[in-house]
Amino acid sequence: MADKTRSQKLKRLVAVQRHLEQMAEFDLAETSRQRAEVNDQMDSVILALGSMDPVHHAFSQGYADRFNRLGIKDKQLTGMQQIHEMRVVQERAKGDRLEDGMREALESERREADDNAVYDLIDQAFGTPASSKLQKS
């Protein structure tokens, strides 16, 4: 576990961050669904208030109260939806930054491995000064 490279650690963090992003998107979708439900209910109450049916006239005050409550709930859900939208953007930005860092770390690790391979080839071809001193002794 301790020998994991920086890019592997960042890859895992990216996966966790993307999961957090998905959770934020789910919360946003749920809030949007609830708002659509409230709007449908408000439309139904408006239809009942505008109805010429005498049964609806008897309940007009109840409909008006319900419409007010639904309006309050819609405002609350609108605020929640804005918060969820900001959270989705923040989580996505964090994930993108982590992913960029992971790519940079991976590229750095590849360059280091390539450099080490070149040094190994040079050492094999020409021998290192330390190994030549050992051979002379």
pTM (2 decimals)? 0.74
The three-state (H, E, C) secondary structure of 49-106, written as one string: HCCCCHHHHHCHHHHHHHHHHHHHHHHHHHHHHHHHHHHHHHHHHHHHHHHHHHHHHH
38 neighbors 74 (Cβ within 8 angstroms): yes
42 neighbors 71 (Cβ within 8 angstroms): yes
Of the listed ranges 62-71, 101-110, 121-130, the least confidently predicted one is 121-130
Asked if the model's pLDDT at residue 124 lies above 90, the reply is no
Q: Write the pLDDT tens digit of every residue in 57-92.
A: 888 899 999 999 999 999 999 999 999 999 999 999
* Residue with the larger pLDDT of the pair 56 and 13: 13
